Structure 1
Amino acid sequence: MEQVSETFTVDLRRLAVLRELRRRGSLARTAQALHLTPSAVSQQIAALARELGAPLTERAGRGVRLTGQAQLLLAHADLIAAQLERARADLAAYDGGGRGSVTIGCFSSGILGLLPDALTALAERLPHVRIDVVEAQPPDLFTALDAGQLDLAVAVDFAAAPPHTDRRYHRVDVLRDVLDLAVPAGHRLADRERVALRELATDPWIVGDARSCCGAVTRSVCAAAGFTPDIRHAVDDWGALAALVEAGRGVALIPRLVRPLYAHRRLALPAMRGTPPSRNVFAAVRAGAESDPVLTAVLDQLRATAADLFG
C-alpha cells in the first residue's frame, strides 16, 4: 500500500459505505442495508483505500474487520459529516427557515401515541413545511438517517440503537414510556392496588420477540424480579397482545404510548411496587443539523407534546 499522500481527495459516498460497514459488521449485512451487492461494497472500500493509500479492512476468519487506519478515518468522517450538516443548517437559517420538508422516521408505537398530536401542532407552527413520516426501527432507522433519506429519527434506547456517545448524531430525550402491567379483568390480582411482579411468576405471559425493545425489557424485568416468564404467546402487535390479555390468555407489560389500542378493552392495570419499568424514547438528527431552524422546531415540539401527553 502506498504512503498516504499529502493531498488527496475522498469520495464522501465511499465514506458512507465505510461508516455503514462499521455499523453492520459484515460486507453482506452492509450490502443488504445499502441495496448493493457484497462485491460492490468490497469494491467501494477497496477504492477508498487506494485513494487514501491506507488499508481499511483486514481478514477476520471468513469475514473482515476494520483496521486502525479505518477507525481513525471514521473519526474524521464523523466530524466532516457534522460540519456539512452545519453548513446546510446555516444556509436554511439564512433565509429564516420555515419552509421546506422534513421526513421523520419513527417506531410504530411512537407513531401511534406521540406523532399525531405533535404533527397537528407542527401544522400550525410550521404551515409551509411538509412533514412526512416513515415507520422504521434501528438499525435501519439510522442507516436511513445517515443516507439522508430521513431528517429526524425517533427511537427507543436498546441494543440496536446507537449509544449516547455516538458523535454522528445530536440527540434529545423525549419521554420515559412506562410499561404498565396488564392482566385480565377477572384476574386474581385485578383489584389489588399494588402488585409485586414476582406474584405473577406462575402466570402465562404474552411477550414480544426477544430482539424487540419491549420483548427484551419484559424478560429482563422478570429476571430482575427473580423468575423466568412462562411465555405462552409470542406477539409483537400491541393490539393483538391486548386482545389476548382481555381474553384471559395471559398477562403482559404494555407501553403507555399504545394506550389508544387497549383503552377500550376490559383489562386491569394494577400498579407495580417500586419503580415501574420504562423505556427511554429519544429523537436524533445528524450531528450539525441541530442548528437547522425547522429541525429545532420539530425537536422542541416533540418534547412539548410528550410533556403534555405523559407529563
Structure 2
Amino acid sequence: MLDLHRLRLLRELKHRGTLAAVAEALSYSPSSISQQLSVLEKEVGAPLLEPVGRRVRLTAQAEILVAHTEAVLERLERAEADLAASLEGIAGVLRVAAFQTAALALVPDALSLLRDAHPRLRIEITQREPESALPALLARDFDLVITEEYPGEPGPRPAGVEYAELGEDEIRLALPSGTPPAPGHAADGGLRGLADVPWVMEPEGTASRQWATRLCRAAGFEPDVRFESTDLLLHLRLVERGHAAALLPGLVWAGRAPTVPVDRLPAEHRIRRLFTASRRGGGGHPAVRAFRTALADGFANRNGSPGGLPHRD
C-alpha cells in the first residue's frame, strides 16, 4: 500500500516547486525529502521526477498520484471538520491570510467578535496578497484566505479551492485636494481628461494594476505611473500630499470619512468583489465558518461603507 506521508511530500513538491522549498516548509533536509521520494518511486515502480535544468518536474505517473492524493486529503479535511463540529466549543488554530485593506478594515472587528465568542480559538493573521496567498492555501500554509476580484479581471480559481462571497467594495478616483477637474473629466464619467496627471498604482502583474491600466487606456491615455507600491496607505498619503492620483477602494478608510476628494467611476468599473477561500473540504470546519461569519457581520455593519462615501460635484 502506498504511504500517505510520501504521497504528501510529492504533492508538496508539485505546489512548492523545489525540493528546497518543501524541505524549508516541512522542516526537513532536502536530502531526506529526496530519499523519501526515491522510496515512493520504488513502491510505484515508475519514475516520478525528471530533471529540468536545476529543477525537477513531475512525470505523468506522479501527476496521477498527486490527483489521487488531493482527493484523499480533501476527505481528511472533511473528517477534521466533522470531528471538530462534534466537539463542544471551537478551539485550535486558524491561519488566515488577508490583503492589506481587508486586514485593516475587516479583520480587527472579526477578531474582537471571535475573542469573546470563542476564547479557545487561536487566530493567526498574515498580510499576503491573493496572488501568493492562494497557492499557499493549497500548500496548507493557511486555512482561509481573503481574496478579491476587480471589475472585468476575474482571477484564476485553482482547483481544490472553494469560495464564499463576502461583499462588494466600491473603488473611487482620488485626486489631490484642490485639484480642479481636468477638461473632459466629469465626476461620474471615468478618467477622461486626466492624461497628464501623475499616478500611484500597484506593481505590474497585480490584478489591481491590470484593471487600472485597462481603465486608463479605455479613457484614451497611458497612465503616467510615477509611484508603485502594494501599500494602499502609501497611495492615500501620496494623494493627500498632492503628489499623485489614485484609484482607492472604500475599505482603505476603514469606516472613516475620506481625507481627499473622491469621484465615482462608471458603474461597470467601480466594484471589486471580496471573497473568502478555503481548501475544498475545509469550508465546513467550525473555525472557518465562525471566522467567515464574523467577517460578514463586520462587513455588513461597518460604518462609512463605500456606497456612502461623498464625492466631488
Task: Note if 1:219 corresponds to 2:216.
Answer: no
Question: Hey, what does 1:84 align to over in structure 2?
Answer: 76
Q: Distance in 1 between matches of 2:21 and 2:93?
A: 30
Give secondary structure in 1 for the equivalent of 2:96.
strand
**Structure 1 counterpart of 2:64, from 36, 60, 72:** 72
Question: Hey, what does 2:43 align to over in structure 1?
Answer: 51
Aligned residues: 299
Go from structure 1 to structure 2 and tell me whether the alpha carbon gap of 1:228 and 1:20 turns closer, same or farther (over 3 Å shift): farther
| Structure 1 runs not aligned, ≥5 long | 1-7
**Structure 2 counterpart of 1:229, from 208, 216, 223:** 223
Task: Note if 1:133 corresponds to 2:125.
Answer: yes
**Structure 2 counterpart of 1:166, from 154, 159, 166:** 159
Go from structure 1 to structure 2 and tell me whether the alpha carbon gap of 1:76 and 1:136 turns closer, same or farther (over 3 Å shift): same
Question: Hey, what does 2:278 align to over in structure 1?
Answer: 285
The letter of the residue matching 1:250 is A
Task: Note if 1:152 corresponds to 2:144.
Answer: yes
1:253: Cα distance to partner? 0.9
Go from structure 1 to structure 2 and tell me whether the alpha carbon gap of 1:163 and 1:47 turns closer, same or farther (over 3 Å shift): farther
Go from structure 1 to structure 2 and tell me whether the alpha carbon gap of 1:52 and 1:139 turns closer, same or farther (over 3 Å shift): farther
1:150: Cα distance to partner? 3.2
1:251: Cα distance to partner? 0.8
- Alpha-carbon RMSD: 3.2
Go from structure 1 to structure 2 and tell me whether the alpha carbon gap of 1:63 and 1:131 turns closer, same or farther (over 3 Å shift): closer
**Misfit runs of 4+, over 4 Å:** 24-44, 146-149, 261-264
Question: Hey, what does 1:106 align to over in structure 2?
Answer: 98
User: Which shifted more, 233-242 or 243-252?
Assistant: 233-242
Is 1:238–1:261's contact at 8 Å kept on the other side of the alignment?
A: no
Q: Distance in 2 between matches of 1:231 and 1:139?
A: 21
1:179: Cα distance to partner? 2.2
Question: Hey, what does 1:295 align to over in structure 2?
Answer: 288
| Structure 2 runs not aligned, ≥5 long | 308-313
1:144: Cα distance to partner? 4.8
Is 1:239–1:262's contact at 8 Å kept on the other side of the alignment?
A: no
The letter of the residue matching 2:100 is S
Q: Distance in 2 between matches of 1:30 and 1:221?
A: 40
1:213: Cα distance to partner? 3.7
Q: What do the CA deviations read for 1:186-220 (whole angstroms, capped 9, x no partner)?
A: 11228953232232222111112113443333223
Q: Distance in 1 between matches of 2:155 and 2:208?
A: 17
Give secondary structure in 2 for the equivalent of 1:186.
coil
Tell me the TM-score normalised to structure 1 length: 0.81
Q: What do the CA deviations read for 1:124-177 (whole angstroms, capped 9, x no partner)?
A: 43344333322233465345544555332222358xx9843512x332121233
Go from structure 1 to structure 2 and tell me whether the alpha carbon gap of 1:126 and 1:33 turns closer, same or farther (over 3 Å shift): closer
Is 1:182–1:251's contact at 8 Å kept on the other side of the alignment?
A: yes
Go from structure 1 to structure 2 and tell me whether the alpha carbon gap of 1:178 and 1:40 turns closer, same or farther (over 3 Å shift): farther
Q: What do the CA deviations read for 1:35-77 (whole angstroms, capped 9, x no partner)?
A: 6666555444433323322322234455433222222212111
Go from structure 1 to structure 2 and tell me whether the alpha carbon gap of 1:239 and 1:162 turns closer, same or farther (over 3 Å shift): closer
The letter of the residue matching 1:222 is C
**Structure 2 counterpart of 1:257, from 232, 251, 258:** 251
Tell me the TM-score normalised to structure 2 length: 0.80
Using the aligned pairs only, state the percent identity.
35
Go from structure 1 to structure 2 and tell me whether the alpha carbon gap of 1:39 and 1:127 turns closer, same or farther (over 3 Å shift): closer
Question: Hey, what does 1:239 align to over in structure 2?
Answer: 233
1:258: Cα distance to partner? 1.3
The letter of the residue matching 1:221 is L
Give secondary structure in 1 for the equivalent of 2:146.
strand
1:261: Cα distance to partner? 9.6
Q: Distance in 2 between matches of 1:140 and 1:47?
A: 31
